[in-house]
Amino acid sequence: MQTRTPRVRVSVLGPARLDVNGSPVRLTPLTARLLVRLVAAEGEAVTARRLYRDVWQQTVELPRQGLRNRNEVQKRISELRRAFDLAGPGHGARIIRTGQLPSGHGTQSTYQLALSEDELDSAEFTRLVGDALRAAPASAVRLLADALRLWRGRPLTEVHDEEIASAPVRRLTQLRETALRELVAGHTALGRYDLALPAAEQAVLERPDDAEAAAALARLNTRLRERHDGELLRHTLRGLRVDVVVVRGDLFEQDDANLVVGFSDTFDTFADDIVISRESVQGQLVDRLFAGRHKLLDDQLRRGLGEFTPLATESVRAKRRGRRIRYPIGTVVAVPAGRRRIFAVAYSRLGNDLRARSGPADLRLSLERLWPSVARHGLFKPVAIPLIGAGLSRIVELDRTQLLLLIVETFTQSLRQDPAVSTELRVVLRAGDLERTDLSAVEAFLQGADERGLVSPPATVR
């Protein structure tokens, strides 16, 4: 349900501001100070004599000056009423009410500000925080965020340090501290530690001696470090629910993600340190996910490769070891592995001398064909990929930074055709690759993709 914007809006959570019908109304400094003084009274009627003393800061009242002072107050009250009347006839009289107070010196005029909750930002702030304290975490977070957005600076700025404002300023300041504390608690309860961090930092900045706020920030930083253990870069692509992440670690420990494993065009699986190195990702795949039984993987690959037309078949004389049926570069087979998929992608050619060879064009083609297969068979799960091309395939034309950029660039380009390729691209780097990879270049490319839309990478990656 949409809330209708009030025709009058007084804002005092920062320098005083009056908006009527959505447009700011200029007030003279004295009139703005008078308005804030009436807000500080929190709905109580204030005599003209007291208003003059507080707003004009009179210290001594001279004989026969009372009438002149009352006239000054009435002139400013009239100015305020005229401003409110811009919203429609009668608004000024409704909002600023005149009364009479009997006293020993005769009857005194009084003035009382009567703004609705929607017409005064400090009242709305108080209501939002109060509602949040009674709400479940998801609703509380929304209410608190709305409340804190109203805060533009020191409350009741024009009289902030004066005795007349001490009570409302203290109440609003304490309520803001509560809002920040509860916002941290709400985001934490929802597992959004990254969103809780700015509020926790702001709380410590505003109250550096508050041990409780400092402890909450320390706990939050600890949780963030634990959550991002091994995470080196995370970038959410603008306008998409897709993250590009770079982590340091082991590909096969990415239990929540589908995996990409590079193969040669013959899709060999037997790691004998001749055709396939046991230390390669391809060699580890059989041991780590198929209990060392390469024939299990062979059967899955054979079923998947049935959809593709072989490119050639080598003779026993020409190729004495390994599989002899060759498939086109860029062939991708989605192999079931429990509740996830292993995407076996052919990006190199295994020569009859048993050396794997690939180049930038081969790798680009393979990656461009990989992502549609991930979209089709990946169940919209995160997909984890090693730094393909940095191993025994010997793509010497590209350094590790360029290899990483090529993976990221082809993935972002694939989102043009299908934004639902995956929730997350996770590139997993080994320690040896990390020290030779410039992640700032990757971050710069992703920032540029956000600013210009999904675009091509620097020419050096081509």
pLDDT reading at 391 higher than 80: no
pLDDT band, residue 64 (cuts 50/70/90): low
Burial 167-195 (b: 16+ CB within 10 A, else e): ebbeebeebbeebbbbbbbbbbeeeebeb
Give the pLDDT score at 419: 86
Output the furthest CA–CA distance in the chain (Å, rounded). 122
Q: Strand pairing of 17-20 and 8-11? A: antiparallel
Give the pLDDT score at 78: 94
Which residues sit opposite 326 in a β-bridge? Answer: 312
Residue 137 CB contacts under 8 Å (≥ 6 apart), including other chains: 185, 186, 189, 190
Q: List the one residue out of 218, 189, 194, 192 whose CA is nearest residue 204.
A: 218
**Residues 128/146, Cβ–Cβ less than 8 Å:** yes
**Residues 393/212, Cβ–Cβ less than 8 Å:** no
pLDDT reading at 452 higher than 90: no
> At 23, which amino acid appears?
S
Q: What is the pLDDT of residues 192-218, one digit of tens each?
A: 888 888 889 988 888 888 898 899 889
Quickly count: other Cβ atoms within 10 Å of residue 111's Cβ.
23
Give the pLDDT score at 243: 92
Residue with token string 């034309």: 397
pLDDT reading at 425 higher than 90: yes
**What is the mean predicted confidence (pLDDT) over 59-87?**
82
SS (H, E, C) the chain: CCCCCCCEEEECCCCCEEEECCEEECCCHHHHHHHHHHHHCCCCCEEHHHHHHHHCCCCCCCCCCHHHHHHHHHHHHHHHHHHHHCCCCCHHHHHEEEEEEEECCEEEEEEEECCCHHHEHHHHHHHHHHHHHCCCHHHHHHHHHHHHHCCCCCCCHHHCCCHHHHHHHHHHHHHHHHHHHHHHHHHHHCCCHHHHHHHHHHHHHHCCCCHHHHHHHHHHHHHHHHHCCCEEEEEECCCCCCEEEEEECCHHHCCCCEEEEEEECCCCCCCCCCCCCCCCHHHHHHHHHCCCCHHHHHHHHHHHHCCCCCCEECCCCCCCCCCCEECCCCCEEEEEECCEEEEEEEEEEECCCCCEECCHHHHHHHHHHHHHHHHHHCCCCCEEEECCCCCCCCCCCCCHHHHHHHHHHHHHHHHHHCCCCCCEEEEEECHHHHCCCCHHHHHHHHHHHHHHCCCCCCHHHC
Tell me the CA distances in angstroms from 147 to 141, 144, 295, one per residue in order: 10, 5, 62
pLDDT band, residue 431 (cuts 50/70/90): confident
Q: The tokens of 280 are what?
A: 């390669």
Tell me, rounded to whole angstroms, the distance of Cα 129 from its chain centroid: 23
Q: List the one residue out of 365, 371, 403, 364 whose CA is nearest residue 386.
A: 403
Which residues sit opposite 102 in a β-bridge? Answer: 107
Distance CA 179, CA 143 (A): 9
The pTM (predicted TM-score) of the whole model is 0.58
**What is the mean predicted confidence (pLDDT) over 362-370?**
95
Q: Is 441 exposed, middle or buried (0-12, 13-18, 19+ CB in 10 A)?
A: middle
pLDDT band, residue 459 (cuts 50/70/90): very low
- Which range (83-87, 218-222, 458-462) has the least confidence? 458-462
Quickly count: other Cβ atoms within 10 Å of residue 250's Cβ.
14
Distance CA 335, CA 3 (A): 53
φ/ψ (deg, to 5) at 85: -65, -15
pLDDT band, residue 375 (cuts 50/70/90): very high
Give the pLDDT score at 385: 95
Burial 274-310 (b: 16+ CB within 10 A, else e): ebbbeebbbbbbbeebbeeebeebbebbeebbeeeee
**What is the mean predicted confidence (pLDDT) over 91-105?**
85
Average pLDDT, the chain: 87
